[in-house]
Amino acid sequence: MIPVEKLVDQVRAYNPNSNTKLISEAYEYGKLMHEGQTRHSGEPYFSHPAEVSMLLAQQNLDDSTIITALLHDVIEDTPATYKDVAKRFGVDVAQLVDGVTKLTNLELSSNDAKQAENVRKLLLAMSKDVRVILVKLADRLHNMRTIKHMRSEKQVQKAHETMDIFAPLAGRMGMQWMRDELEDLSFRVLNPEGRNSILRRFLTLRNQTEDVIPKITHDIRDVLEKAGIEAEVVGREKKPYSVWRKMQEKGEGFSRLSDIYAFRILTVNEEDIYKALGAVHNRWTAVPGRFKDYLSQPKSNGYRSVHTTVSGRDGKRVEIQIRTRQMHDVAETGVAAHWSYKDGHRVENPFAVDPFKWLASLTERFGNSDDQDHEEFMEHVKLDMFADQVFCFTPKGDVIQLPRGATPIDFAYTIHTRIGAACVGAKVDGRRVPLWTRLRNGQSVEITTAEGQRPQSSWIDIAVTGRAKSAIRRALREEHRDGYVRLGAELARVALEHVGKKSTDKALMTAAKKMGLKDKDALLARLGSAEMTASDLVGALYPELLTESDNEDNLPASEIIGLNPGQYAQPGHCCQPLPGERIVGIATRGKGVVFHTIHCEKLADYEDQSNRWIDLRWTQGRNDPNNNVTIHVTMANDPGVLGRICTLIGEQHANIADLQFMERKPDFYLMSIEIQVRDVEHLHNVMTAIEADSDVASVSRTRLGSNGV
C-alpha cells in the first residue's frame, strides 16, 4: 500500500502550498472506514483508493481531487455518510465523492436502453464537475491494472465497458496516455492471442533490426542540432492495441504498417515547430497524405501538434509529432491541465481548454435526448468519442469541425438542422460534388438549399454524424408517421390474431416498453416503416408462441460450474436464483453450497467471511421448467381474468406450482403465484405476457424471506 508520506511528498513537490494535513487526515479516515475490507487479490481494500490518489497526484491535480480519490468509495462501501464527509473535508469534496459514487453505480454494460440512459447520467455528472470523471478514470485504470484477480466473466464485462466507454472518454478528454493504457489492458483480456501476436512480432522485428528507436532518435537530434533548433526528442513503439486496430482498419499485415514507431519533438517555442518540420522534411522524404496540422486547427480538447510521417532509416516509415512543451503537457493531461499546479500555483497553460466550454460543446452535439431513441444516442456518443477530426470552412471562413469520413450532408446539419433538411447539393472548393463525397481537412464547403426539399431516406447511409442521422430519421418518421402508424396498427392486429391474441393498447405499450421505445405509436411507426417486423412484436410479448429452433431443443441442460469435487449445490430460498443469473455460492459446514443471485441481500451477512465465498456460474443450456420463482400480480376483479392469466402462463410453457390471494379488494386482487420456469429469460417472457393483458395493473418478481445458510 502506498504510505501517506509518499503521497504527501508527491503532492508537495508540485504544490508546496497544499493542505497536506487535510490530505493526511483523509488518508487516515479512508483507511479507518475501509478497515477489514479486502480486494479480490487479498490486499487491504484501502490500497486501491491510495493508488488512485497517487495516479491523480502524478497529474499535478488540486487537493480536493486528491482527497476525493482517497474517499471515493467511503459513502458507498462504509458507514460514512455525505454529512460526515462534508463536515470533515468540506462540501466541495463531499459533492465530488457523491458524484463518483453515483457514477460507480451506473450499469454501463447493461442492455442498450439502460446503457444509453446511464451514459446520459455520466455526461450530466461530468457537466457539474469534470473532476468527478477524472477520479473515475483513475479508479478504472487501477482496477484494470489489477483485473487479473477478478472472475473471468467479470473481467470480460469490465474490459468491454472500458473499451466502449472509458477509454474513448479518456481520449476525448485529451488524456491520450490513459486511453492507450486502458485500451491495451482491455485488449489483454478480450483478445490475449491477438495481443501476444503483436508482441511476438515486435520482438522478431527487434531481433532482425536491433532496436531502431535509439538510432532514429539520434538521427532526428542530429538533424535538429545542425539546423540550430533546441528540442527534446523521444521515441517509442506504439501500444499493441493501437497496432492491432491499424491492421484491422487498413487490412494490412504487420510488416506493411507505416507507423508502428512514433517520435515526438518538443520545441522551446511555436516558431521552432515549423522550423523542425522543415528540417525533418529536408532530411527525409515525407509520405503523401500523412500530414496533419493541429496547430492552426486544434482539437476541441485543446490538443495542438503537427504530425508527419517520413521514410526514415532503412526506409522504415515513422510518425513524428512536433509541439512545444506546454502543448505536450495538454496533450498528456488534456482537460485535467485546467487544474494542474506547479510551485504551489495553478498552471496558466495558454493551450489548456476550459473544461466547461468543452463539456458544453460535447453535450450540445448529443442533441435533445427526447428526440433520440437509445440506439441513436449511443451511436452518437460513440461516434463523437472515437472520431478523428476534420476541419472544413464555410464560404464566410467559419470553421466547421466534423468527424473523419463526414460528408456535405453532415456539414449542412452541423450548421443548422434546417440547412441540412433543405440541402439539394454541395460545392467543395468551388466544384460541384455528390452529397456522398468524403470531406478532407481544409476544404471549403458551400451548401445549396431549396425550399420544399425534404430529407431523403438514402441520406441515412451517407451521413456519418449522430446529429445528422438522428435529424434525418426524425424527419422521415414525422413525414410519413401517420401512414406508418396506421399500417403498423393493422400489421400488429394481424400478427397477434395469428397467435390467438388481441392487439390492445396495453399489449402494445408493454411491447414498446420492453423494446425501449417511447410509446405504442413509436412502436407502430417502426412496424409500419419496416424498421421492425411483426415477428419482433410477437417475440417481445409472447416468445414462447414463436417456433422454437431445433438447435435450442438439442442444447444440454444448464449446469453449475465452479464446485469442488464432492460438493453439491442448492438454491437459496431467499432469492430463488434461476439459470442465466449471476450467482455466488456460500459454503456450508458440510459439503453443501447454497447459491444466491449476485444482488441477494443475504450475501451481506457473509462479507467478513470471504473464505466461504465460491465463484459459480451457469453453463448455457436448454432447461425443463422446474425452477421455482414467485411473482406478485395485481389484476382486475372481473370474471375470467384469473383464468386468462393462468392460460397465459401455460401458453408460455411455464407451470403453476402454487397460487394465493394476498389482498382482495372490490376492484382488484393482489395474488402471489409460484411458477416453474426454465431460466431467467423464460421468467421475463412470462412476466411480459402477463403485463400485456389489459386487466393486469402490475407484475413483479418477489424475493422471499431469507432462511439462513
Catalytic positions, please? 76-77
Beta-bridge partner residues of 38: 44
Judge contact between 322 and 273, C-beta under 8 A.
yes
User: Residue holding cell 390474431?
Assistant: 497
Beta-bridge partner residues of 677: 627
Q: Which of 440, 234, 212 is nearest to 320 (CA)?
A: 234
Burial of 431 from C-beta contacts in 10 A (0-12 / 13-18 / 19+): exposed
Judge contact between 689 and 659, C-beta under 8 A.
no
**DSSP code for 441:** T
Judge contact between 109 and 160, C-beta under 8 A.
yes
Judge contact between 52 and 100, C-beta under 8 A.
no
Q: How far apart are CA 28 and CA 211, in angstroms?
A: 46
Q: How far apart are CA 156 and CA 661, in angstroms?
A: 44
Q: Is 159 helix (H, G, I), strand (E, B) or coil?
A: helix
Judge contact between 464 and 403, C-beta under 8 A.
yes
Neighbours of 171 (CB within 10 A): 21
Position 543, amino acid: P
Judge contact between 387 and 379, C-beta under 8 A.
no
Q: Name the grid cell of 548.
A: 422454437
CA angle 470, 472, 473 (to 5 degrees): 65
**Residue 669 belongs to what H/E stretch?**
strand 668-677
Q: How far apart are CA 297 and CA 399, in angstroms?
A: 9
Report in angstroms the alpha-carbon separations of 422 from 88, 349, 475, 577. Answer: 58, 43, 11, 56
Q: With the C-alpha atoms ordered 379, 380, 385, 391, is the resulting torsion angle positive or negative? A: positive
Q: Which of 542, 535, 586, 492 is nearest to 688 (CA)?
A: 542
Q: Is 424 helix (H, G, I), strand (E, B) or coil?
A: strand
Q: With the C-alpha atoms ordered 202, 205, 206, 212, is the resulting torsion angle positive or negative? A: negative
Judge contact between 129 and 95, C-beta under 8 A.
yes
**DSSP code for 563:** P
Neighbours of 136 (CB within 10 A): 24
332-360: b (≥16 Cβ within 10 Å) or e: ebbbbbbbbbeeeeebebebbbebeebbe
Neighbours of 237 (CB within 10 A): 18
